[in-house]
Structures are given as C-alpha cells and as structure tokens.
Amino acid sequence: MKCYQDQIDMMALLGEIAPLARTLANNDTDKALQIVADVLPGAVIEGFPSGSKAWTWTIPQRWEISGATIKANGETLVDAAWNPLHVINYSQPFKGAVTHAELLKHLCTHPERPQAIPFSFSFYEEIWGFSIPHEWLSRFTSDSYEVEINSRFEEGNLNTLSLFIPGDSKETFVICSNICHPVQVNDSLTGVAVAVDIAKRLLARTSRKYSYLILVVPETIGSIAFLANHPEIIKASVGGFFSEMLGTDGPLVGQRTRRGDSYWDKLLGDVLLNSNLPHQVVNFLKSAGNDEKVLDSPGVDIPTFSLTRYPYPEYHTSDDNINLINIDRLREARDLLQKIIDFAEEDYIPVLNQPGPVFLSGYGLYPNWRDDPSLLPIWQSFIDVMYSIDGVHSVVELAAMRQIPISHFFYWTDAFAEKGLLTKSPFVLRRKAT
C-alpha cells in the first residue's frame, strides 16, 4: 500500500499534549486545544457556555481541581498531585473523616491491572471518589481517613477546535477526534495526531474536490455542542470518520457507518482488505462507540465510519501513556485513512467513448504479466473492469459491486482515459435526503 510522508512529527505532538489533565472543559483542555491550533493555521477555538442547551443536552460546567488527598494517621495515602487520574473526573468536592467501609465505596480500582490507576469519571451523576492501583488497597489498614477533594465547578465555556478546509464543492467530509481523557495518549490523542497530519496534507494541496472539517472536541458533548450550533455544517456534510486508539499493536478495527452500505463503507472495506494488515470490519456501534454516535445519529445523518485498534489492555488506565505508542502502527492507520480520502478525491464516473471491448494490443495496454508477474492480478481484473463500466456508477462503486480492488479499477480506467477511450465524468457524493 502507498505510504505517505509525515506532515508533522506526530510523536512530538503527542508528547506535548500528553501530560495535560484534559477533560470535558477545564484549563488543561484549553491548553491542549491551543497546542493543536498552533500547528493548524486557520483553526478556530469556539466555546459554548455552560448551562446552554445543545439539542437534548446541556453544556456542563467547567471542572478544576486544586488538590485531592486521602490521609490516615498523618500519612498521605493518595494525592492527586501524583497523578490527576487519582481523583474521579468531575468528582464533587468533599472534606471530612470517613470510616474504612465508607471510603471503600469511593475507591475505584482495576483488579485485572493491579498496578495501574484506572480512569474513572462521573459527568452526570454527582459523586465523589478516587482511583488507585488495585495493589494499594492493602495500604488502607486504618479504621478512619481524612479525605479532601478541592474540586470546583465553574460557569464558563466548553471549548472545541475546528478547521474548515474549503474544496471545489461545498460537500464536506468531517474528520473528528477527541482531546479529552486526562494524561492518556492512545485514547484519544492518537486520533488527533492523525487528523492533524492529514489536515496538513490536505492544506498543502492546490485543490480539493471535497471540503473538509477538522474537528477536535471533548467526547460526545463536544461534537453535540459544535454541531447543534452549526447546522450549516450538518447540511453540507456527506461523510466523516472518527479515529482514536491507533498507536498500539492490535489489529485495526473498521466500524461501518449506520447505513452500513454507504460510499464510505465501500472505501473502508476496500482499503482494509487490500492493506494486507490484520484487521476486522464490524457494523455500526458494534465496537468502541464515540462521536460517530453523534455525527451519524438520526437528524444529523452524516455517514461516519471509525477506525481504531480497540481493545487494548492498557485502555482507560494510567498505562495508556506515550511509551505505548508505536509510530509505525500510527502511520499505518494514517495511511489507510488518507488513502480513503484520496480514493474519494480521485473518484469519477468512467464513461467509455465507444462500444465494445477495448482492443488492448492496439493501444499498447496489454500488461506484460509473463515478464512481470506482479501485473498478473491487474490483468486478472481486466475482464471485471471492462465489463462492469456502465456510465452510471463511479469507480469506487463499481469496484465494490465487482469486489475487486479500487486500485485495480483505477489502473484500467485511468489508462483508458489516457488513450482517449474513456471520459472521466465528475463524481461528487451528495447528501442523502433524510
């Protein structure tokens, strides 16, 4: 498969954002978005005030923490200063003495990964609590504990980053990724790194068929807030992808759009199948579910596929850090997503300029597969290509209908076009009427 040149140092970007204790809305999230904005000229950071409505949802308050500790007999057992994951995300403030039994109800651990701090959160239920390595439970031998959580809920903005890259058509493809998940990297910063790298490549091009919207948001509520306030984006959007968890060694998981047989599903299926990489393709919401649940929801209806390497053992723990990331795996995923975009950019409706099978020998088009065996698969696709061109469907659609690689189809139709035997009729995906 084609390998693309890096447009940014993805590992450096991950390293810069990783330590920040990002969440739905707080100062660290704002800093992280600013780091992304700094590498994406033209990007806009847009805030939505807490308490305002977005469809059926309400924008939450910002949440800051200035300290959180558990002490017993003067000894500090847990301190959020050691790791922001130690306090449950969006925990209520609390101060007081609690018994051992009471404290246990407020401690989250991950028994299967006993040395890691689990990532715990409670955005909509009002609780307080801590997360600790499972192994630490044995240190809690006292009968009573002094607990203090200095968290603050503040009015203010939930922020998002967007960059609109205009194309020749208003039809827009949304590239969505998440900025949240404090101090974690694979989930979900790898999706941000890939999105930025792709955005830079698209920006560098002199023209694009489609317009693109890069969207970096806190999970779920971020895309809801943005789209509820940008109906014009919804109206123009013909597709999208969400990506994250791309830097580990597990197989790639392509998750289809809600419709399951959309244009993007054909591209996703082709690119994964012909990647020769370990992968699976699953139906909508049958793997990790993220902002495609927003983009591809009823009334929004942007056909959105996702790409991840979910699951992986370090998921939602303090072990999901920069050391986990394999730049080669990240590049593979980036290449696949870029390839999907580029096939869509190149796609056209092949219209033969004359009836009948093309006289290959007469145009020097007969591939010399006897001398170059690598041409054999291409030659074997000839019949399928020649006899499926119908002047109606695009290359991507025809390749999917015949179940041959999109790249083989382009091989032949591009060659025909070069010889004047075929006209490339423009193809732009339009938004389906709801």
**Does 364 participate in binding a second copy (rule CB under 8 A)?**
no
The structure tokens listed for 329 are 């795996």
Distance of CA 184 to the CA centre of its chain: 15
The structure tokens listed for 1 are 């498969």
Question: Which of 165, 174, 224, 378 touches a second copy (CB under 8 A)?
Answer: 224
Contacts with a second copy, 315-344, as mask; x by CB under 8 A: ------------------------------
- Least distance from a second copy to the Cβ atom of residue 317, Å: 22
121/89 Cα distance (integer angstroms): 4
**Does 229 participate in binding a second copy (rule CB under 8 A)?**
no
Structural contact between residues 129 and 121, judged by C-beta atoms closer than 8 angstroms: no
Residues 6+ apart with CB under 8 A from 307: 241, 243, 246, 252, 253, 254, 255, 268, 333, 336, 337
- Per CB under 8 A, the segment of 50-58, 71-79, 156-164, 321-329 that binds a second copy is 50-58
Select 276 or 368, whichever has its Cβ closest to a second copy.
368
The structure tokens listed for 54 are 């977005």
**Does 373 participate in binding a second copy (rule CB under 8 A)?**
no
Amino acid present at 329: R
**Does 300 participate in binding a second copy (rule CB under 8 A)?**
yes
Question: Which of 45, 285, 375, 428 touches a second copy (CB under 8 A)?
Answer: 285
- Least distance from a second copy to the Cβ atom of residue 224, Å: 6
Q: Which residues of 348-368 are buried (b: 16+ CB within 10 A; e: fewer)?
A: bbbebeeeeebebeeeebebe
**Does 134 participate in binding a second copy (rule CB under 8 A)?**
no
Select 207 or 434, whichever has its Cβ closest to a second copy.
434
Select 74 or 298, whichever has its Cβ closest to a second copy.
298
Count of residues near a second copy by CB under 8 A: 40
Question: Which of 107, 228, 267, 271 touches a second copy (CB under 8 A)?
Answer: 228
- Per CB under 8 A, the segment of 10-18, 99-107, 329-337, 347-355 that binds a second copy is 347-355
30/37 Cα distance (integer angstroms): 10
Q: Which residues of 167-181 are buried (b: 16+ CB within 10 A; e: fewer)?
A: bebebbbbbbbbbbb
DSSP state of 306: E
Contacts with a second copy, 93-132, as mask; x by CB under 8 A: -------------------------------xx-------
Structural contact between residues 194 and 188, judged by C-beta atoms closer than 8 angstroms: no
Select 82 or 387, whichever has its Cβ closest to a second copy.
387
- Least distance from a second copy to the Cβ atom of residue 377, Å: 17
Question: Which of 37, 98, 386, 417 touches a second copy (CB under 8 A)?
Answer: 386
Sign of CA dihedral 414, 415, 419, 420: negative
**Does 400 participate in binding a second copy (rule CB under 8 A)?**
no
Select 313 or 391, whichever has its Cβ closest to a second copy.
391
**Does 284 participate in binding a second copy (rule CB under 8 A)?**
yes
Cβ burial of 192 (10 Å; 0-12, 13-18, 19+) is: buried
Residues 6+ apart with CB under 8 A from 223: 176, 215, 217, 291, 294, 295
Chain residues in the site for a second copy (CB under 8 A): 54-58, 124-125, 224, 227-228, 234, 258, 284-285, 289, 293-294, 296-300, 352, 354-359, 361-363, 383, 386-387, 389-391, 421, 434
